[in-house]
Amino acid sequence: MQRLLVTGGAGFIGSNFVHYVLENTEDHVTVLDKLTYAGHVESLSGLPESRFRFVQGDICDAALVDGLVAGSDVVVHYAAESHNDNSLHDPRPFLDTNIIGTYTLIEAARKHQKRFHHISTDEVYGDLELDDPERFTENTPYNPSSPYSSTKAGSDLLVRAWVRSFGLQATISNCSNNYGPYQHVEKFIPRQITNVIDGIRPKLYGKGENVRDWIHANDHSSAVLAIIAKGRIGETYLIGADGEKNNKDVVELILKHMGQSPDAYDHVVDRPGHDLRYAIDSSKLRKELGWEPRFSNFDAGIEDTISWYRDHEDWWRPQKAATEAKYQEQGQ
């Protein structure tokens, strides 16, 4: 039994991890979350009070962070500003949270000699050509293309430097695109699902040829637990489930499962600097730690995700109008 401090645990991937930990281990979890627009305390409802605590606060608050880290065994750092479009319109919050916030956490972990796991993204590697057979590995050079991915790359490098310079007991994981419950409706898959529920045609950037490597949030969670338990200190592990799909195919799959014509969507202006393709080689994680994804059927995973959003309209409805109004202003 361990005491986990999970930053950003009211966000999409973080909340899924908290649910997974409490359902599959005997660990205790404290969540630290600022509750920005992307964090929802409702995503943590129904958790056992004897093993779960929620603290609203900022990871840049050094005094608050110091006390929480001191009382934990492991820090799992999910908190991040993570939306590419938002980073293009206002980069500053990404610097504050992703760089200064990470620095604040690793300094506390160093001071109190705590195990630290840093959650990152495959977007730090830039992108691959659509017809390139290669995939990202732990040795792929960093080549970020947005304020979001560049600040995540910077946070990765901070963790690596603290391991080498100060002996921080840390690991890093870079994961491909997640999907599943509790994802904000500004993101690609839930935006399309909730648009169809509302009778709005889905929106597709450009030609829809951009490829993402999709993984269910529960598989991400199980991989993180495996790295915390068995990962080698100082190492980076890539997490992926061989789920490459282009955006056009994803939209058409969603429409099919929701009883719509597969061409019932609209093309909108493409995102500036839109990365072409992400693809993860997770063989190191699988060979070293024996991890395997459980949700290998993307078609079934999408069907389950659609069902979740149909059944939890009370969770996403308050976010929807403001999100679509913002996209409309941007012509997207």
Catalytic residues: 122-123, 148
Pick the closest to residue 305 from 156, 197, 193 (CA basis): 193
d(CA 196, CA 94): 31
Distance in Å from the first CA to the final CA of the chain: 47
Give me the residues paired with residue 204 across strands.
Answer: 267
* Number of separate helices (H) and strands (E) present in the chain: 12, 12
d(CA 64, CA 174): 27
Rg (C-alpha) for the chain, rounded Å, is 19
d(CA 215, CA 240): 6
Burial classification of residue 259, based on how many CB atoms lie within 10 Å of its CB (0-12 exposed, 13-18 middle, 19 or more buried) = exposed
Which residues are within 8 A (CB) of 79 and not within 5 positions of it... i.e. 6 or more apart? Answer: 7, 8, 11, 14, 32, 33, 34, 59, 97, 101
Measured torsion, CA atoms of residues 182, 184, 187, 190, in degrees rounded to the nearest 10: 60
**Conformation bin of residue 229: beta by default, left when phi > 0, alpha when psi is -120 to 50:** alpha
Q: In this structure, what token pair is assigned to residue 65?
A: 């962070």
d(CA 105, CA 119): 13
